[in-house]
Copies of this chain bind each other. A is one copy, B any other.
Amino acid sequence: MSEAGPRAERRPTRQRAALTDELAGTAEFRSAQDIHASLSASGTRVGLATVYRNLQAMAADGEVDVIRTTEGEAVYRACASEQHHHHVVCRGCGLTVEVTGDAVERWAEAVARDHGFSQVRHTLEIDGLCAGCGVRDPR
């Protein structure tokens, strides 16, 4: 499956550093555009294309997590843990919690193999309303 791959030595640049800092500053998933806007706002001029490029590269190297919102937009976040994990995201405020679940990992693997699949991967995202949001928005 070739992921979390060869940390091809990327040349350190001011832009990449700024991006890393920005990501380190928040715990929530953010879109590339959002991150770019945030950087610009704080006076750090970085091209949008650069943000996308770096984000992709970092994601490929496993430095950041990427998930797709239901609308198809990609959102990124610095990994809190190196190991494989999943997220529980609040639909109301974006609060994110990382969770691991060996049971699930094994289950997915087993189910896939039962059907003759190999090189198994999986994506699992859980979302709901966090304690705070759940009270008011019974959407």
Q: Which A residues are closer than 8 A to B by beta carbons?
A: 1-2, 68, 70, 72-74, 88, 90-91, 97, 99, 101, 103-104, 107-108, 111-112, 115-131, 134, 138-139
Contacts and interface: CB of A to CB of B under 8 A. Distances in A.
B2 A139 contact: yes
Copies in the complex: 2
Contact of A121 (B74, B116, B127): B127
Contacts of A129: 117-119
13 contacts: A2-B139, A72-B72, A88-B111, A90-B117, A104-B104, A104-B107, A115-B130, A118-B134, A119-B134, A120-B127, A122-B124, A122-B125, A122-B126
A124 B129 CA distance: 18
Contacts of A138: 119
A128 B124 contact: no
B123 A124 contact: yes
A66 to B, nearest CB: 9
Given A68-B72, A88-B112, 20 more contacts: A1-B139, A2-B139, A68-B70, A72-B72, A88-B111, A88-B117, A90-B117, A101-B107, A104-B107, A112-B128, A117-B129, A117-B130, A118-B128, A119-B129, A119-B138, A119-B139, A120-B128, A121-B127, A122-B125, A124-B124
